[in-house]
Structure 1
Amino acid sequence: MKPSETEEDHFVFVNISQPHEIKSASTQRTIRRRVMREIGRSRRTHPRPLTWSLALEPSADTVVESIPPCLDPCNTTFYPTPLDARGLQLMHFMTSDRDYVFRPFRTVWFTMALTDASAVLVALANAAMFLDQKLRAQMYRYETSAECLTYYGQCVQQVTRRLGDARENLSEGVITTILGLMCHDLYVGMLDRWNTHIRGLGRIFQLRGGYQGLAANVALFAGWLDVVGSLMEDSRPRLPIPPDFSIQSTDAMTPYLRSLLDDIGSGHDSFWNIEVAFRHASFITQTVEENLRCAAAPWKHENNLTVIELFGLATHFLLCMPRPTEVECNATGVQLLQEATRLALLILLAALKQEVFLFTSQERDLLMYKFSMLVPQLRMVDYDGSFLKLYLWVLVTVSLLSQSHQPLLYFDDIQSVLDRLGITSTEGMDLVNSILSINVLGIQATDLLPALVVS
């Protein structure tokens, strides 16, 4: 009797110590031998249930419905365009890189990139860039990363050509590729290129009539990359809110905060924006705190979209809020406090993304700078009652979130507000925690007490 095959019989392990060894004759021979063996077997027998079909080459008109999250980079079945040996080597690097580097959304982006030939070029550009960063370490410079820029340029050329084709210019493949370019541009800090892409994407969505017909992840990332780029400039988003952004959050505000905002809002209808913004922020901090108690937080996986689901709608709302312009000299005290609160909440969300979700928060410096330009105007306003309490929360929160870069920031202003409220430093910090605590970041308002007592 022929012995039954074990699961291990379906795998061949190729051991390499350096990325370039993937091109060696013996390695390539082993790979081809295994792939051709499985193809031959598939032609002779029907596939058994529950077996992987990764090595089966689909016909030209077959649509791949599901791309495995753990892609075998040497299996060309799922690539929408042929890759040369170097392309396969870069794909291998990006899949093995996950063993020691966490890159948010890596798995999701791979799945999206493998649906379009032009989008694959963005994946290769990213892989070339990350490999260059690893090999050159301190000597790395983006503008001299020739291979990365070559793939990026090829991708732009393909997109430009496809935009001139009426059969493709509104396609999901073109949109996915533009999203890949936008993501790359944001990572390397090329805001001028991001602005070009987001304007073009906005035009495409206008002609398409919105997000209709797009895969859920494509629509989700369009809204997310719009928000992330807009944050870098603190400008209003260009695209409409994606469907999956519209998640109704529960009211997680503290009773004290709700009472405080009701008191302020009773005489100022425009403050409803601040109430909605606090509702979003309170929901986010509560959700993060609850998940941090779990040993395996869901966002620690590269295929998880929790950060978009949590921060997308809140950030979009904060960026769309009305604000006094930088040249406006006649802004009221209420408008100034609204703007200070908006900036403080954006800084808080940036800190959460950076400290908890391991996202690079490149917008924090801009937001901190804009807040610092607002403080001299705030000092001239004679706030009292509930406004003064909200102002205290804003000052303490921004001070706590800037401790690592600028310790003792705004301490004189905090002490002045405490004096005007007629409360002690301890009572003031308790009040701040009652409005919205940021203890989830490992930062407590009471951390400021020693310095406040000395001052």
Structure 2
Amino acid sequence: MKDIGRARRRTPRPIKRGDVPVASAAAATSEPDIRASQSLPNDVTDEVSGGLVVPSPRADGSLHSVVFPIEMDRDRLALSRFMFEERRIVCRPFHFPWLMMALSDPAAWHITLANAAWHRYRKCKAEEFDFASDQEVVKHHRLSLQSIARRLADPTKRNDEGLVVAIAGLICHNVENHDRLKVHIEEIQRIAQSKGGLQSLHNPTLRLMVSWLDLTAASYLNISPRFESPKCLSLEIDPGNDTHCLEQLLATWDQKCPDLGDIVSALRVTAAAASYVNRHINDPTLWRDGTAALRVLGPALHEILSLEGRPLPSDPGDRSYSARAAREAFRRAALVFIAAVRIRLGFEAHDMAAHLDAFRQISQLPLVDWAVVPELNLWAHVVAAAREKPEDRAWHVFTIVSIMQILGLETADRAFEVARGVMWVDAISEGDCGLRREIDHFASGSLPRRIQDLQAVSGDVYSASLGSSLGI
């Protein structure tokens, strides 16, 4: 933990640009009545019309007007019907925009069918209904990979925009495999670079999705984003008076803690996003297709993940020691905070566990003076503790109570008021009552009793860190 920023300072493996001509890309549109080209590919040729326009399956769920990018048999039509009908019942972020793009590419449609087969398999298994087979998942996944591999090996097709759609689908299908995730993102980066960058992709929805996948991959892998924040993520948010307390805190930082100057922008953007979510969380139509969530949370994620890693000084007496610990605590807590919001809006957040684990290690660093910007450190520990199981947050509670004493706060309710002043989303604070009780119980005891309580629930690891922190 000495070099808490080392992973983020690694230079990503360089990607060679292709020297081949750029093939014409498949353009997608959201116009509901536009029909696709009738020159359709099959599973073997992977031929896609350069002027392909995507039909909309939005209207009535009927498949007769949809022109698919592959040959469709009875089983494939059944899977497609399940997928379109499920969309009307189950709200999954980015579901409809993805269907629009997937219909433009053979490999993308195969991975979409694989995903549909997986959801149908899980549904049937849960209902103990013997209908779907997970072999359908494997089959369509294999066909998608074969199509992608053939085109990547073809100099005339390896930079097609349709490949970006297909590879994005692979990422969504198996996002928890970090090794594959890294390879897929690198390939998308190569194709985008061959076209002149992310902004050169013709489909604005695809640009938005690639940017989001880049951000989630960076969060999973704890690295900086590969792409600059695109214009489609430029969303001006006026938080009004919601960030008044935060601005008052920031006004004192230059004098107190110059090492934290570079996180000010990330704090403001994240607080603005939190304000927007708080005001509009109960508008289901706003969040239904997922694009609003990407535009609101994307800039904050990009700012946080772009923070340069900084090593922790080896000497705890160094004036930067506690400031850099606080800086990394904020970064990890902010990623946990956004992950919790993503879950509330219907997204998955497999990266949260890694950030919680990292925060645990930061919180236990010996001899950190959390009195440096105590309000920010209190917010970070409250956010992380709220996402932990009770048995895993004893050290968080101990630190929260210690910061409360510094700030002259006597109750958990007052501590939460201070945390809310930094940034907050009410919809993710459900279930905080247990944490508040733990804080109040811990705060009511003497220091020796607190140490005994901490040792009783936390074991030797916490006790050793506690001894170092207290100099005993």
Q: Deviations over 1:27-58 (max 9, x none)?
A: xxxxxxxxxxxxxxxxxxxxxxxxx979x886
TM-score (normalised: structure 2):
0.75
Would the aligned equivalents of 1:432 and 1:445 in 2 still touch at CA under 8 Å? no
- 1:428 and 2:420 are equivalent in the alignment: no
Would the aligned equivalents of 2:57 and 2:66 in 1 still touch at CA under 8 Å? no
> 1:214 Cα deviation (Å)?
2.0
Would the aligned equivalents of 2:57 and 2:63 in 1 still touch at CA under 8 Å? no
> 1:78 Cα deviation (Å)?
1.8
Would the aligned equivalents of 2:239 and 2:276 in 1 still touch at CA under 8 Å? no
Letter in 1 for 2:115: N
| Structure 2 match to 1:202 | 189
| Structure 2 match to 1:128 | 117
Letter in 2 for 1:368: L
Instruction: Find the aligned partners of 2:280 and 2:207 in 1 and give their Cα distance.
Output: 26
Would the aligned equivalents of 1:235 and 1:319 in 2 still touch at CA under 8 Å? yes
Q: Specify the SS of the correspondent of 1:332.
A: helix
Q: Deviations over 1:106-128 (max 9, x none)?
A: 11111101111221111111111
Instruction: Find the aligned partners of 1:411 and 1:105 in 2 and give their Cα distance.
Output: 37
Judge which range, 399-408 or 420-429, deviates more: 399-408
State the identity %: 23
| Structure 1 match to 2:368 | 381
Letter in 1 for 2:416: M
| Structure 1 match to 2:388 | 402
Give the superposed CA RMSD. 3.0
Letter in 2 for 1:414: I
Instruction: Find the aligned partners of 1:111 and 1:405 in 2 and give their Cα distance.
Output: 45
Letter in 2 for 1:298: L
> 1:223 Cα deviation (Å)?
0.8
Q: Deviations over 1:287-336 (max 9, x none)?
A: 11211354x4411x2x34111111112112211112345x9745721111
| Structure 2 match to 1:49 | none
Would the aligned equivalents of 1:67 and 1:111 in 2 still touch at CA under 8 Å? yes
Letter in 2 for 1:316: H
Would the aligned equivalents of 1:93 and 1:127 in 2 still touch at CA under 8 Å? yes
- Residue number among 71, 79, 89 corresponding to 1:82 in the alignment: 71
Q: Specify the SS of the correspondent of 2:373.
A: helix
| Structure 2 match to 1:320 | 306
- 1:233 and 2:221 are equivalent in the alignment: yes
Unaligned runs of 5+ in 1: 1-51
| Structure 2 match to 1:278 | 267
1:244-323 matched pairs, under 5 angstroms:
244-250=232-238, 254-294=243-283, 296-299=284-287, 301=288, 303-323=289-309
Q: Deviations over 1:322-360 (max 9, x none)?
A: 2345x97457211110000111111111111112x0222
Instruction: Find the aligned partners of 1:66 and 1:405 in 2 and give their Cα distance.
Output: 52
Q: Deviations over 1:365-408 (max 9, x none)?
A: 1111000011121x512343x61232222222222233578465
| Structure 1 match to 2:162 | 173
Instruction: Find the aligned partners of 2:208 and 2:107 in 1 and give their Cα distance.
Output: 20
- Residue number among 131, 152, 157 corresponding to 2:146 in the alignment: 157
Would the aligned equivalents of 2:220 and 2:351 in 1 still touch at CA under 8 Å? yes
Instruction: Find the aligned partners of 1:191 and 1:311 in 2 and give their Cα distance.
Output: 22
Instruction: Find the aligned partners of 1:95 and 1:256 in 2 and give their Cα distance.
Output: 46
Would the aligned equivalents of 2:234 and 2:295 in 1 still touch at CA under 8 Å? no
Instruction: Find the aligned partners of 2:261 and 2:314 in 1 and give their Cα distance.
Output: 23
| Structure 2 match to 1:416 | 402
Would the aligned equivalents of 1:227 and 1:237 in 2 still touch at CA under 8 Å? yes
TM-score (normalised: structure 1):
0.77
- 1:439 and 2:412 are equivalent in the alignment: no
Q: Specify the SS of the correspondent of 1:69.
A: coil
Instruction: Find the aligned partners of 1:380 and 1:334 in 2 and give their Cα distance.
Output: 12
Instruction: Find the aligned partners of 2:248 and 2:305 in 1 and give their Cα distance.
Output: 25
| Structure 2 match to 1:218 | 206
| Structure 2 match to 1:20 | none
Note closer, same or farther for the CA distance 1:84–1:372 as it changes in structure 2 (3 Å cut): same
1:71-110 matched pairs, under 5 angstroms:
72=61, 74-75=63-64, 77-110=66-99
- 1:192 and 2:155 are equivalent in the alignment: no
Letter in 1 for 2:297: F
Instruction: Find the aligned partners of 1:358 and 1:409 in 2 and give their Cα distance.
Output: 30
Letter in 2 for 1:354: I
Q: Specify the SS of the correspondent of 2:174.
A: helix
Note closer, same or farther for the CA distance 1:287–1:412 as it changes in structure 2 (3 Å cut): same
Judge which range, 316-325 or 105-114, deviates more: 316-325
Note closer, same or farther for the CA distance 1:443–1:409 as it changes in structure 2 (3 Å cut): farther
Would the aligned equivalents of 1:403 and 1:409 in 2 still touch at CA under 8 Å? no
Structure with higher Rg: it is 1
> 1:364 Cα deviation (Å)?
1.3
Note closer, same or farther for the CA distance 1:213–1:399 as it changes in structure 2 (3 Å cut): closer
- 1:340 and 2:329 are equivalent in the alignment: yes
Would the aligned equivalents of 1:433 and 1:445 in 2 still touch at CA under 8 Å? no
| Structure 1 match to 2:353 | 365
Unaligned runs of 5+ in 2: 1-31, 40-48, 443-472
